Structure 1
């Protein structure tokens, strides 16, 4: 998949943005963002106790439980579950991890320029805020370009609100997300050991 480049230097300087590449996407970090902060995860509105909409993300240090939000983004959740069930995410790198901002993965190339074999998805923006543990869909400058890449925010990121599709929330194991190797890219990237739906738990 061809990388789409955007956000010229002048724009970057004007808004103080640090880029996070995905599918040519630029997930932007606000200027002056510091190290990650502690804080609880927001689970309001998540579909509680529904194994069919609960994904398990296995990392080297432990398991992370993600509550998916088909009520907010049905097409993104459908795609995510399909890729999980195909084993697409197993072994993929966290290719960009910014302290105090987010951890990004889902690119089979491991560079931030790849995606799945399926067509891109239309945006499903909502009023749901990006808080600690929020799962968002990475995209290019085209709002309708999300595919397979996703990110998990380490803390609240209000500058992303209404700009990226929210389709899930970490409800357990966020401490293991905090431990993912940092870097753009990390010198020794961590990987998704395995990802599966709770209905298919071993």
Structure 2
């Protein structure tokens, strides 16, 4: 059961304490800053910051990018630039999957959410996505972990994928370096 303090924090809105600076290169380049919502999704935020601190996200591609919807990245197992990317999007990390931490926060432009590996709501691991636009059908179905507070123009310029799946062919854009900020 959630503590009263956590429930009050969620009702007041997400706290902005820890963040990520994501340096992107490829067809676009620049730094995107994401503020992470530790009070809303503490386990997911801990996972993102742990992987970033270990350098696991460095060199990982945006493997699924759907215009008007979202850009997905974070497959630290199969999504590393320069490797065989034929399985990009099917992997995770060497850590166990996470139980969902759903909230009332909506999926709007700039929202960062955790991707899942299948139908199970408890299958988020290392992959995450950044919203290009609002997607109310995701509300309460995926864990919101943060929001882009600067560099959304860089996100908007990420190379788009093909077809309904959004799989990026050729040379995808890359998270060159991901660092944790305080």
Question: TM-score with structure 2 length normalisation?
Answer: 0.81
Alignment gaps of 5+ in structure 2: 1-11, 80-87, 162-166
Alignment of 1:187 with 2:164, yes or no, is no
Identify the residue that residue 46 of structure 2 maps to in structure 1.
78
Compare the two structures and name the one with the higher strand fraction.
2
Q: Name which of 152, 163, 168 aligns with 1:174.
A: 152
SS in 1 for 2:124: coil
2:94 corresponds to 1:117: yes
Shift of 1:187: 2.4
Cα distance between partner residues in 2 of 1:172 and 1:150: 17
Could you list the per-position Cα deviations for residues 80-127 of structure 1 after superposition, in whole angstroms to 9, with x for gaps in the alignment? 110000000000010000000000001130211100000000000111
**Stretches of structure 1 lacking an aligned partner (at least 5 in a row):** 1-43
Distance in 1 of aligned mates of 2:121 and 2:59: 27
Q: Which moved more, 1:157-166 or 1:186-195?
A: 186-195
How many pairs align? 153
User: Separation in 1 of the partners of 2:151 and 2:13?
Assistant: 19
* Pairwise CA distance, 1:54: 1.4
Displaced runs of 4 or more, over 6 A: none
For residue 157 of structure 1, the aligned residue among 112, 118, 135 is 135
For the Cα contact (< 8 Å) 1:122–1:145, is it kept in 2?
Answer: yes
Kindly provide the CA deviation profile for residues 25-77 of structure 1, in whole angstroms up to 9, marking residues without a partner as x: xxxxxxxxxxxxxxxxxxx93434x3xx0110111211111000011101000
